[in-house]
Chain A
Amino acid sequence: MTSIMKNKLRSLLPYAIAVTLLLLVWEVLARTVNVSFIVPPLSEIFAVLFGLVFTAHFWTSIFLSLLRITMGFVIGVVLSLALAICAHFFKPLEYLLTPIVTVIRCTPVASFIMILWLLLSEAVIPSLIAVLIVFPVVWQSAHDAMHEPDKELLEMVEIYNFTPSKKLWYLTVPTMIKGVLPAIITASGLAWKSGIAAEIITYTKHSIGREIANAKFFLMGEELLAWTFVVVLLSFIVEILIKLLLRKAAKIWE
């Protein structure tokens, strides 16, 4: 084992101990309360999860939830970046978008879900909620990155008479993208959680949210926690994948 691997394992050890302790506390609580739909034992949760893994609807629900929320996330990122660039060059758009972004940021997600549910089919709501959650986070960071460019580089492009399109392509856009990467990672976690919340509330067909809602309706605590565990695990995997992807993208601008 290399020293790098050893150091990595050593740094993970405290987290592994913390997780083990938390699971132990859960198990003790489950045995003490002894009401499986409130605090089911870990063995039962994992038994349910093991059973679910071999069903088609488990994978269909995961696939369609991922598809819906990822679509919303991607649309949200692209839309906010495009509008941030347009607003940078067309001030009236910035004045129009600033209060809209503030309203979106301050409105509870559940309110948005209810408003959209009045107007639209439940199938599109998780995607739209992901767009609405991603938009203010990414727009604001893109807006800030473009308004605080590197003053030395700005002086350089002015001295070298960069045309507006050249300045946009070689200074504004790369500065914005570099500044916006951490916000995209944050937004991905928020989009995932809000998308699942929208699925639960609107009882979206073929979704993780619907499975969670069903488990709650029928007081199936083990299933509720098994699906919640799936959501947490997927959120973790998605965040790692996005981080890897963005790290690769960031290398272009290093």
Chain B
Amino acid sequence: MGIVVTDLTKTFDDKTLFSNLSFALGDTGLVRITGPSGVGKTTLLRIIAGIDKDFSGSVDRDGDISYLFQEHRLLPWLSALDNVIVASFNDADENDKESVRALLYRLGFSDNELLRKPSKLSGGMKQRIALARALARKSDILLLDEPTKELDSSLVSTVVDIIREESNRRLIIFVSHDPLLDTVEVDDLIRLSRI
């Protein structure tokens, strides 16, 4: 089993975000977390990732995770390519590097752009690098917070294709306000509502 959440309750500033939330997710598949703004979607991702530990209940996770943060969180002193390689592999061999390059070409990068530092990349480019970093890591669970944020609509379908393909091999949970993703077929839906 990929993730089992039991009786999860999270309060923040005397406000209860969710109470006794329980669900179980398998090893593979595409799962979307929906709900109005401020309901705790990102908080739920952070709890699953193990970043936020201030909650009651239990979260059992089976396997490594990759996380696409809402902010790009790229290392400013590394090139776009190195940001992906360094974070995704401990000792990348030529095959790993080639697979990263192939992924980045698919996400619309040229060789020249891959050598640029994050300060020389647009918001959309940084988002794609951060997404590539999450995808390239051979993790069992992929948590994506707003995966299509700042992306041109032409690239959204490519990202959706990649995410769908990856969901056959591992569990992907995403949060998105992008209406372009509303038509994406998901395997499970976690709907959060205000308490």
Contacts and interface: CB of A to CB of B under 8 A. Distances in A.
B16 to A, nearest CB: 24
Interface in A196-226: none
A161 B64 contact: yes
A159 B49 contact: yes
B77 A174 contact: yes
Contact of B76 (A159, A161, A253): A253
Interface in A163-204: 163, 166, 170-171, 174, 178
Contacts of B87: 156-157, 160, 162
Given A152-B73, A254-B119, 10 more contacts: A152-B69, A156-B69, A158-B51, A159-B67, A160-B88, A160-B137, A162-B87, A163-B90, A166-B90, A254-B77
Interface in B130-145: 133, 137
Contacts of A158: 51
Interface residues of B, number: 21
B24 interface: no
Best-buried of A157, A160, A166, A252 by chain B (most CB within 10 Å): A160
Interface string B68-110: 0101010111100000001110100000000000000000000
B66 interface: yes
A148 interface: no
Q: Which 5 A-B pairs have the closest CB atoms?
A: A253-B77, A156-B73, A160-B87, A174-B77, A159-B67
Q: Is the interface of B mostly helix, strand, loop or mixed?
A: loop
A153 interface: yes
B117 A159 contact: no
Nearest to A154: B73
A155 B51 CA distance: 8
Interface in A80-134: none
Q: Is the interface of A mostly helix, strand, loop or mixed?
A: helix
Contacts of B25: none
Contacts of B44: none
15 contacts: A155-B69, A155-B73, A157-B87, A158-B51, A159-B49, A159-B51, A159-B66, A159-B67, A160-B66, A160-B67, A161-B64, A171-B75, A174-B77, A253-B76, A254-B119
A152 B76 CA distance: 12
Contacts of B66: 159-160
B75 A170 contact: yes
Contact of B117 (A152, A166, A254): A254
B76 A254 contact: yes
Interface string B153-178: 00000000000000000000000000
A248 B36 CA distance: 47
Nearest to B75: A170
Contacts of A155: 51, 69, 73
Contacts of A170: 75, 77-78, 86
